[in-house]
């Protein structure tokens, strides 16, 4: 939402802050500054500020809404444009509201209107918001929308045929909007129509029927709020987003419609010479009551993590025009009518803290209590597998999980059907991959373009499918390797080693029955753990760029983890019941051969009962041409004293 600095000054005359200070203030309190540009307006230099308005604050999709925030931040008062009361005529207007989707509607007829072009200030003003000038009455309607946030609609009354009706459209028909675009209505849009014609898609856009033109003399001015969800659905279904629909698809306050409507009628009467020609029609069945919340100011301190005194809290809330009705705790707080986003005490806490400013709160790393580690076994295992594979020379890739349907058809070997998205942005890639192999082949083709030798890639990721009309996904590990003869055996050994490393004892490769179309049917195997099929190993028909054989493998790691949980490994482990004692010693030798002989002798003397390990950890060439080696001996089953005694004795250091 954009706002002119000169207009802020008009609304807050005592404001001394510069445009940059205003930008910084609103950024910190919930409205990120998006732009600041110097402009010329009304023959004077001005500054146009732009702010991001989040979905909870439709009241700030308006100049007055933003000015109200600025006034609150700087603790200044806001002067709204004044409006005059008018005397309605006695004639009623024939309006029917046939749907509860209309939350509030006000309308009035004006006659003797003179439709002319807008003055330059108005044309220039609307241009800042990328709104084209149409004519004075329509431009004034847009001006009021920008000022207050409430869209309105003007109808050429003399062209209407019968009652004006707000209803959910019940018969499909084609309409043409003001900009000449045609739409086919279904049966669920909220429309404004007369006996035969649709006047507007309510809350979104007017049609070219009964639009204001130079010949218009009588206007029906209406301002309404609708069920925001319905406007949002209609907007999405018809793919029309307008300034009006952007506001009316959010929760604007019905209570504040009066001011906006009065301002519109005042401006139309003043600027177009129109006269009030009817009663004010109003439909406001479910009146929104003033919202009072019980609030304990201590909550702001608790959630903020700092101490904010109740008086300070009261001050900050009053700047935001919240009314505190009690002196005793807890407070009853009256929420300003325009703040439809405030529903809970926690919402009030946010108001207090944002005006207090988050950047005044300290950042302290909390000493939070310990909690149970709920990390799944699979998550931990995946990290180990990644490390193991990288150490074995495999490169990890990540790929698109959305693929062409053909990619699945050619690579799938599992008994499930394809899952596809309904609204893929790229129509060529609507399918979710059923195998990692599909992704790895695409990756290999990219690597081939770069002529990368020694291709050894793996990916850990999700694959997807449908089983009995249910969508399923599971985590797979896939490999792709390119090379000469024996590459199939190398990958078979890698898969075997990974499974064995994970604790699987019975690993078999049986000739595969379900062979994907990309695979060589004579070189495809089902990977089995025990009696459970867990994946596929296959040579591909396609070759790598320099005619190397490509081989792929894929296993279901979720099944693997489940198998391991059911079959705990029986592999022997060493339990160290006593501490290990590490001691170093230096040995001199003329050559490595002599060293090896000396070490064999030492190992024999120490015996396997006491020796855990013996290793050479350093080599140093002496000036004499001989070598000095540092040998590290690790002792087990001995206490410190015994180990030291043995060490000194065996290495001849006593």
Partner 1 sequence: MLGNKILDELSSQIKAVSTEADLTALWHKYLGREGIIKAQIKALAQLPLEEKRQQGPLWQQIQEQAQALFDTRAAEIRATNEEAAWQAEAQSLGLVPVKLGHLHPITQTIRKLNELFIRLGYSIMEGPEIETDEFCFQRLNVPPDHPARDMQDTFYLEEPNVLLRTQTSSIEARVLANYAPPLKVVCPGRVYRNETVNKSNHFIFHHYQGVVVMPKVSLVDLFGTFTALFQAIYGPEVKIRFRNKYYPEVEPGVGPDMQCFNCHGTGCSVCKGVGWIEMGGAGLIHPKVLTMAGLDPREWHGFAFGLGLDRWAMASYNITDIRTLLGGNLGYKPYHHENIV
Shortest Å, Cβ 372 to partner 1:
8
- Using a 10 angstrom Cβ sphere, with 0-12 exposed, 13-18 middle and 19 or more buried, the burial of residue 16 is exposed
Q: H-type helices in 135-256, by residue range?
A: 136-148, 228-238, 243-248
Closer of 117 and 421 to partner 1 (Cβ):
421
β 44-51/33-41 pair status: antiparallel
Least separation in angstroms between CB 189 and partner 1: 15
Which residues share a beta bridge with 290?
Answer: none
* Listed residue (130, 196, 201, 200) closest to 161, CA to CA: 196
Structure tokens at 264: 């519109």
32 vs 80, beta carbon nearer partner 1: 32
| Cis bond before residue 330 (omega within 30° of 0) | yes
Nearer to partner 1, 445 or 645 (CB): 445
Please identify, using beta-carbon distances, which residue of 369 and 572 lies nearer to partner 1.
Answer: 369
**Run of H or E residues at 406:** helix 405-411
Q: Which residue has the tokens 């307008």?
A: 242
Nearest residue (CB) to partner 1, 263 versus 460 = 460
Composition of the chain by helix, strand, coil, percent to 5 = 30, 30, 40
| Beta strands 456-467 and 395-396, pairing class | parallel
Q: Which is nearer to partner 1, 115 or 481 (CB)?
A: 481
CA 512 – CA 105 distance, rounded (Å): 70
Residue nearer to partner 1 on the CB measure, 28 or 583: 28
d(CA 154, CA 224): 12
| In the complex, minimum distance from the CB of residue 467 to partner 1, in angstroms, rounded to a whole number | 12
CA-to-CA distance for 597 and 80, rounded, in angstroms? 100
Q: Identify the CA nearest to 346 among candidates 327, 364, 360, 333.
A: 333
Q: In whole angstroms, how close is the CB of 436 to partner 1 at the nearest point? A: 13
Task: Give yes or no for a contact between 545 and 468, defined as CB atoms under 8 angstroms apart.
Answer: no
Return the number of the residue (441 or 646) whose C-beta is nearest partner 1: 441
CB of 353 to partner 1, least distance (A): 6
Cα–Cα dist 429/390, whole Å: 30
Nearest distance, CB of residue 341 and partner 1, angstroms: 8
CB of 416 to partner 1, least distance (A): 13
Least distance between partner 1 and beta carbon 203 (Å): 13
């Amino acid at each position: 939402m954009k706002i002119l600095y000169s207009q802020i000054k008009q609304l807050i005359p005592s404001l001394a802050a510069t445009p940059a200070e205003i930008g910084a203030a609103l950024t910190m309190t919930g409205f990120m500054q998006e732009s600041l540009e110097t402009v010329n307006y009304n023959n004077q230099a001005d500054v146009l500020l732009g702010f991001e308005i989040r979905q909870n604050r439709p009241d700030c999709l308006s100049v007055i809404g933003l000015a109200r925030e600025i006034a609150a931040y700087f603790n200044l008062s806001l002067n709204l444009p004044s409006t005059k009361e008018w005397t309605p005529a006695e004639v009623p207007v024939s309006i029917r509201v046939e749907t509860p989707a209309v939350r509030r509607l006000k309308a009035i007829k004006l006659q003797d209107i003179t439709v002319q072009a807008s003055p330059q200030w108005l044309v220039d003003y609307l241009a800042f918001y990328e709104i084209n000038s149409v004519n004075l009455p329509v431009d004034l309607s847009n001006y009021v929308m920008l000022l207050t946030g409430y869209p309105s609609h003007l109808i050429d009354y003399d062209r209407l045929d019968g009652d004006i009706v707000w209803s959910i459209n019940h018969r499909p028909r084609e309409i043409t909007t003001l900009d000449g675009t045609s739409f086919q209505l279904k049966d669920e849009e909220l429309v404004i129509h007369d006996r035969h014609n649709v006047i507007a898609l309510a809350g979104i856009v007017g049609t070219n029927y009964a639009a204001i033109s130079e010949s218009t003399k009588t206007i029906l001015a209406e301002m309404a709020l609708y069920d925001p969800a319905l406007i949002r659905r209609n907007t999405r279904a018809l793919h029309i987003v307008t300034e009006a629909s952007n506001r009316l698809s959010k929760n604007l306050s019905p209570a504040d419609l009066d001011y906006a409507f009065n301002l519109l009628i005042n401006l139309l009467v003043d600027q177009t010479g129109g006269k009030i020609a009817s009663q004010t029609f109003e439909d406001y069945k479910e009146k929104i009551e003033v919202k009072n919340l019980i609030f304990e100011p201590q909550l702001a301190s608790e959630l903020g993590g700092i101490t904010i005194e109740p008086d300070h809290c009261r001050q900050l809330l009053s700047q935001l025009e919240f009314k505190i009705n009690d002196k005793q705790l807890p407070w009853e707080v009256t929420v300003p009518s325009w703040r439809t986003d405030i529903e809970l005490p926690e919402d009030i806490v946010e108001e207090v803290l944002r005006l207090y400013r988050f950047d005044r709160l300290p950042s302290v790393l909390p000493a939070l209590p310990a909690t149970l580690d709920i990390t799944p076994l699979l998550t931990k295992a995946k990290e180990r597998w990644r490390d193991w594979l990288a150490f074995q020379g495999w490169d990890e890739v990540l790929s698109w999980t959305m693929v062409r349907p053909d990619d699945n058809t050619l690579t799938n070997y599992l008994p499930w059907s394809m899952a596809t998205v309904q609204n893929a942005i790229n129509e060529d890639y609507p399918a979710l991959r059923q195998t990692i192999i599909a992704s790895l082949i695409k990756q290999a083709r990219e690597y081939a373009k770069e002529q990368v030798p020694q291709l050894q890639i793996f990916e850990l990721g999700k694959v997807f499918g449908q089983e009995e009309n249910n969508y399923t996904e599971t985590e797979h590990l896939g490999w792709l390797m390119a090379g000469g003869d024996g590459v199939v055996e190398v990958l078979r050994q890698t898969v075997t080693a990974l499974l064995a490393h994970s604790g699987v004892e019975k690993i078999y490769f049986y000739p595969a029955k379900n062979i994907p179309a990309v695979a060589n049917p004579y070189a495809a195997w089902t990977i089995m753990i025990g009696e459970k099929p867990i994946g596929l190993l296959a040579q591909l028909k396609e070759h790598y760029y320099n005619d190397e054989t490509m081989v792929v493998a894929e296993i279901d790691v979720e099944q693997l983890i489940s198998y391991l949980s059911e079959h705990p490994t029986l592999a022997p482990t060493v339990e160290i019941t006593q501490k290990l004692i590490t001691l170093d010693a230096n040995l001199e030798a003329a050559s490595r051969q002599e060293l090896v002989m000396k070490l064999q002798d030492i190992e024999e003397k120490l015996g396997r009962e006491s020796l855990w390990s013996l290793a050479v950890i350093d080599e140093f060439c002496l000036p004499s041409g001989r070598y000095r080696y540092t040998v590290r001996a690790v002792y087990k089953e001995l206490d410190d004293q015994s180990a030291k005694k043995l060490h000194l004795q065996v290495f001849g250091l006593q």
